[in-house]
Structure 1
Amino acid sequence: MNKSNYVSLSGTLVKDAIIRKNDKGSDYVLFTLSVPQTGTKWYDYINCIAFNENAAIIAKSPLKGTPYHIEGRIHTSSFDRNGKKHYSTDVVAEKIEMVNQND
């Protein structure tokens, strides 16, 4: 993993993960983690995507409130919809583990 673009997050799923297949039939999963901000009572909501075997890990327990630790990289993109430019920032999960809720 490229350490110059490295993210490590622990949080819980905000809503049930969305499981999809790409044009080639490979699984991918879209999910949002609620990650507590250090030293505050506030949370950040981070959009994430996982592919292949990492998608399978989330797919085993894709329900709202499930705790996960992920490591990955930030990916930015843009797209046009109805003549308006939209921007997206996501974390591409390259390592995922479900966290014991007692930890």
Structure 2
Amino acid sequence: MNHFVGIGRLTRDPEVRYTQSGKAYASFTLAIDRRKSGDGNPQADFISCVAWEKTAEIIGNHCTKGKKIAVEGRIQTRSYEKDGTKHYVTEVVVQSMEFCDSKGGSTSPTATPEQQSMFDGSRAVSASDIPF
């Protein structure tokens, strides 16, 4: 089974681009905290992610550097050649995401209800519909 779930903060604004056929895709990196090490210092992993179509557009329109989100998807590896050198990439292909910052959180104090919604791949749900 290839299944990834992670919660982290965006390290920079997502890059949204379009394929030649018009499909949207968003590339971004999540900083996901690890449990504190024995010496008490915080550590993080930086996970490359890519989202497609509607999910990519929502991430591109509503997420900025520092925004905390949860992503669910699968891990994918691929390779490409550039200037005669083979490069390998491991990334998470995001199938759904949720916003994790609180409604009145400091990262988005003036967000609209649409910006505070969550996206599960098939429908948008208002943050006010969430019981917690």
Shared fold by TM > 0.5? yes
Give the deviation of 1:92 after TM superposition.
0.2
Give the deviation of 1:49 after TM superposition.
0.1
Tell me which stretches of 4 or more aligned residues in structure 1 moved more than 4 Å: none
Give unpaired runs (5+ residues) of structure 1.
none
Identity score, percent: 33
TM-score, length of structure 2 as denominator length:
0.71
In the TM superposition, what are the counterparts of 1:54-73 in structure 2 within 5 Å?
Answer: 54-73=55-74
User: SS at the partner of 2:63?
Assistant: coil
- Hey, what does 1:100 align to over in structure 2? 101
In the TM superposition, what are the counterparts of 1:29-44 in structure 2 within 5 Å?
Answer: 29-40=26-37, 41-44=42-45
For 1:78-97, what per-residue CA distance to the aligned partner results, in whole angstroms no more than 9, with x for missing partners? 11110011100000000111
- Hey, what does 1:14 align to over in structure 2? 11
- C-alpha contact (below 8 Å) 1:7/1:74 kept by paired residues: yes
RMSD: 1.4
Q: Take 1:52 and 1:28, find their aligned partners in 2: how far apart are those partners?
A: 6
AA of the residue aligned to 2:86: K
The number of residue pairs the alignment matches comes to 100
TM-score, length of structure 1 as denominator length:
0.90
* Larger Rg, first or second structure (1 or 2): 2
- Hey, what does 1:84 align to over in structure 2? 85
Which structure has more relative contact order (CA 8 Å, sep 6+)? It is: 1
Larger relative strand fraction: 1
Q: Take 1:39 and 1:22, find their aligned partners in 2: how far apart are those partners?
A: 40
Q: Take 1:38 and 1:93, find their aligned partners in 2: how far apart are those partners?
A: 23
- C-alpha contact (below 8 Å) 2:48/2:92 kept by paired residues: yes
